Structure 1
Amino acid sequence: MRAVTVIGMGDEGCPGLSSLAINAVAKAQVLAGGERHLDFFPQFRGEKIVFKGDLIRATERIAELASEHTVCVLASGDPLFFGIGNLISKKVGLEHVDFIPAPSSIQQAFARVGMKWDDAEILSLHGRQIEGLVTKLQSLRKVALFTDEVNHPRAIASYLSNFGETDWTAFVCEDLGGKEERIRKFDIKLLSEEEGINPLNVLILTRNESEWKSPSIVPNVPEENYAKRTPKKGLITKKEVRILSVAYLDIRDDSVIWDIGAGSGSIAIEAAQIAKNGKSYAIEVDPEGIEICKQNVLSQKTDNVHVVSGKAPEILERLPDPDCVFVGGSKGNLYEIIRICLNRLSSSGSLVVNAVTLDNVAEAYQSFKKLRLVPDVTLLNVSRGQPLADYLRYEALNPIHIFKVTKPEGFQR
């Protein structure tokens, strides 16, 4: 037996424990866990560590005691599945820890509903922000969610409703294995109004559309799907330009992206669709543009996009450091914007600047030259087929210069 044994429990308490788990508790000198779990062992006479608030300090105490005592840690379900097991391993050392798992609440929830779950995505909102959930859901058909007292099922349903993300059936699985176990089925609207849900719950969401297909891996939203300032046509980046510009940003799943001079927010939105576990910031100074960005965030269901009202470069100091930066507008401050963005970029981060007018092209080129950087430059000429009577002709779009640099190691200007 190792110094620390982490035991998974269900809400039924001791009756659900194996003889191996019971023996581990009987031999322990220290018992740690939440009050709910510790209450199952009123006869225990050794030292107890109650998990309240600061889990880091509690696990540090466990690590201290484990050098001379045998310790049992009580956890919910499978301790290594969105549980405390990983934290214990890091603090104590994996070689000193044994795990005795119980069925996780997710397993129990799907079993009660009678639904297979090998095709489900498991997400946790326990102690986490809800922002980004809607973006993730766009590519999912079946989801199970760990909830908490803030992100409870009613709040989640209300949040989804704000984005029009309502075509789901919800199963609320309460107090699984406990005396008040209850499984209920809702649509999103009814769930957003439901009171009195047990705080111990798991939420399962399944899509209603049997013919639903996940969206394209490469975002390519037509211009007409975006709200934009008319007749100012230039304030929406054309689809072909977006596809190439977003590709040049080298976005990863958890990237932080800045879209400076966001206009209608299309680059920020399509970048966010790739960085589902990241965040995208649409930075715009024009009040009308700000409102249009917000409309597009809602219509494109990308809740990991933050619309920021302000002028670059001054507003940038309020934002977290980026991994990727796109500059579509600069209001005459392009050199300073490029310099500051490169200083703030993460190691090997990407900076992409789009320029339409000859003035902007010259300003971008001279800015990089002044910073002693040699960008990759692409001149993109796009023509689209347009019908003319019984014929097809080409209609040219404005040519775009795309400048791209990768932050050099040790860059500081």
Structure 2
Amino acid sequence: MADTPLRAWLTIIGLGENGRDGLSPVALAELDEAEVVIGPPRHLALLGPLRAMAVEWPVPFADGVARLLALRGRRVAMLASGDPFWFGAGSSVIANLAPHEWLAHPQPSTFSLAAARLGWAVQDCACLGLHAAPLARLRPHLAPGQRVIALLRDGAAVADLAAYLVALGFGASTLCVLEALGGPRERVRCFEAQAFALGDVAHPVAVGIVVAGQGLALPLTPGRPDALFAADGQITKSAVRALTLAALAPRAGELLWDIGAGSGSVGIEWLLAHPANRAVAIEADPQRATRARGNAVALGVDRLRVITGRAPACLPDDPPPDAVFIGGGLSAALLDALWARLPAGTRLVANAVTLESEALLAAWHGRAGGSLLRIALADAAPLGTRHGWKARYPIVQWSVVR
């Protein structure tokens, strides 16, 4: 006899501003059969009277997951906005469930509705959820002509967004404020960021942005301008950084340990290479560690994890990295510790500027192989009434795969 599949106890229902009227017949049936309906107060209010017991999702969000799991075994409908799996609660909830325990009925996301109102192709827009994230996550997308659709917390966040764009030199950008899309309260208003003067923006709100202005757009390639990074001189300079990132060869979803991070520039550029990349910056100097955090936030990669301490004593326990960069604090003890700990296949790149560090890398090159590169750069500088070449300190770079 064939096994009878277990019926999902949890139905995740995407809800729009039209409430019950916007639901499919299948989603309506699941809602009517539920013993418990759990969701934010605004979503519960959109449904009106319910047969089931209504439970408000608490703040912070994580507390609601435990409350939901306590209902396991009952028929539960969970309410979420639009598409629960696009900047929604869906993935956070099902991480705790087996595949047979849940099903979902999404509706058009706010991104889809916004694009439909503005006549934009969704695939050509950057879609960002900024309702619980810093506005600086916009930074990598700020280039003239680019289009962004961003979900925001409330009307005050729209004013903050306009001010943020003005401060970066993108005040000429067009902002289209999209309120309560898909419902009777829907409203769309467009204006330049530098002319923002609205005081009545209603939640839920999204903003479509057409970027314009004279602000500095972040280049897409590594070796971004040094001026983008606050530093006290302890920074891997632009040209050397470009060669370093080329040697590190970031791939989507990989983890970097940036040891002796200084300003955090290498770890930040690693993160800018792909949105799924992860990085841990390890810096012994507390002021530099704080500066690295600030640089990461300012450049839109606040996911940089910064550890204040000296390697190898403070190396993370889990998970192992895909690549390691040593930009400061190079020592025989550090290399010994890394070599004993790193799994096979880990890429390691170390830069040295002193004779002693060069000798250490030469010795390890003889022991473990890899490649040695000597980077000698010079800048044009005034020489009397003319110009000549002023050499920088040469850098020796060792690259190896464990």
Q: Matches of 2:294 and 2:134 in 1, distance apart?
A: 22
Partner of residue 37 from structure 1, selected from 34, 40, 43: 43
Specify the alignment match of 1:152 in structure 2.
157
The reply on whether 1:363 has 2:360 as its aligned counterpart is: yes
Q: Matches of 1:379 and 1:108 in 2, distance apart?
A: 52
Equivalent pair of 1:381/1:396 in contact (CA under 8 Å): no
Q: Matches of 1:114 and 1:276 in 2, distance apart?
A: 26
> How far apart are 1:378 and its partner, in Å?
1.2
> How far apart are 1:125 and its partner, in Å?
2.5
- Residues 1:238 and 1:30: Cα distance change in structure 2 (over 3 Å): closer
Equivalent pair of 1:134/1:165 in contact (CA under 8 Å): no
SS of residue paired to 1:81 = coil
> How far apart are 1:213 and its partner, in Å?
12
Which 5+ residue runs of structure 1 have no aligned equivalent? 387-392, 409-413
Within 5 A, what are the aligned runs for 1:4-403? 4-53=10-59, 54-65=63-74, 69=75, 71-130=76-135, 132-137=137-142, 141-148=146-153, 152-164=157-169, 166=171, 168-191=173-196, 195-208=199-212, 217-221=220-224, 237=236, 240-254=239-253, 257=256, 259-261=258-260, 266-277=265-276, 278-279=278-279, 281=281, 283=283, 285=285, 301=299, 304=302, 312-313=310-311, 323=321, 324-330=323-329, 334-338=331-335, 349-365=346-362, 368=364, 374-382=368-376, 399-403=394-398
Q: Matches of 1:189 and 1:161 in 2, distance apart?
A: 6
> How far apart are 1:11 and its partner, in Å?
1.3
Q: Which amino acid aligns with 2:270?
A: A
SS of residue paired to 2:244 = helix
Q: Matches of 1:150 and 1:180 in 2, distance apart?
A: 15
Equivalent pair of 1:352/1:404 in contact (CA under 8 Å): yes
Q: Matches of 1:250 and 1:373 in 2, distance apart?
A: 23
SS of residue paired to 2:149 = strand
| Bigger mean CA deviation after superposition, 15-24 or 99-108 | 15-24
Q: Which amino acid aligns with 1:172?
A: V
> How far apart are 1:205 and its partner, in Å?
1.7
SS of residue paired to 1:219 = coil
- Residues 1:159 and 1:341: Cα distance change in structure 2 (over 3 Å): farther
Q: C-alpha root-mean-square deviation of aligned residues, in Å?
A: 4.8
Number of residue pairs matched? 386
Give me the TM-score of the superposition, normalised by structure 2. 0.72
Which 5+ residue runs of structure 2 have no aligned equivalent? 1-5, 381-387
Equivalent pair of 1:173/1:183 in contact (CA under 8 Å): yes
Q: Matches of 2:280 and 2:171 in 1, distance apart?
A: 24
SS of residue paired to 2:70 = helix
> How far apart are 1:134 and its partner, in Å?
1.4
Specify the alignment match of 1:411 in structure 2.
none
Q: Deviations over 1:324-365 (max 9, x none)?
A: 4433333xx623444566688788544321123322212345
- Residues 1:198 and 1:314: Cα distance change in structure 2 (over 3 Å): farther
Equivalent pair of 2:170/2:215 in contact (CA under 8 Å): no
